[in-house]
Copies of this chain bind each other. A is one copy, B any other.
Amino acid sequence: MRAVQDSMDVLSGKWKIAIISSICYYNKRRFSDILDDIDGISNKMLSKELKELELNKLVKRTVLDSQPVTVQYELTEHGKTLQTIINNLTEWGIKHRKEILGK
């Protein structure tokens, strides 16, 4: 029971899954690009969410020595294991929608 809740805590909230999907799709992704990928998220909120994902060891943050300085994110090995979960949730969500709308 507690384990399920741990997973749900990591994934819940309005933005987490969108952020993970954006980084995962592009492999490596800059802060400003993630900001562009996700409709409606603010600079501040993205920053906060990424910090949480970093604390949860799901994403790795790298500061690139470019001009201007850019910050890049990628999934950790642990973060990549989330992909199966997200895929399963996607498949089930599609089935569920069909079931509710009567196919």
Interface residues of A (CB under 8 A from B): 1-8, 10-12, 17-18, 21, 56-57, 78, 81-82, 84-86, 88-97, 99-100
Contact B57 A93 (CB under 8 A): no
Q: Measured between alpha carbons, how far is A56 from B95 in the docked complex, in Å?
A: 12
**Contact between A3 and B88, CB atoms less than 8 A apart:** no
A74 to chain B, nearest CB (A): 16
Contacts of A10 in B (CB 8 A): 96
A57's nearest neighbour on chain B, judged by CB, is B99
Given A1-B21, A85-B88: A7 and B93 interface contact (C-beta under 8 Å): yes
Chain B: CB-nearest residue to A14 = B5
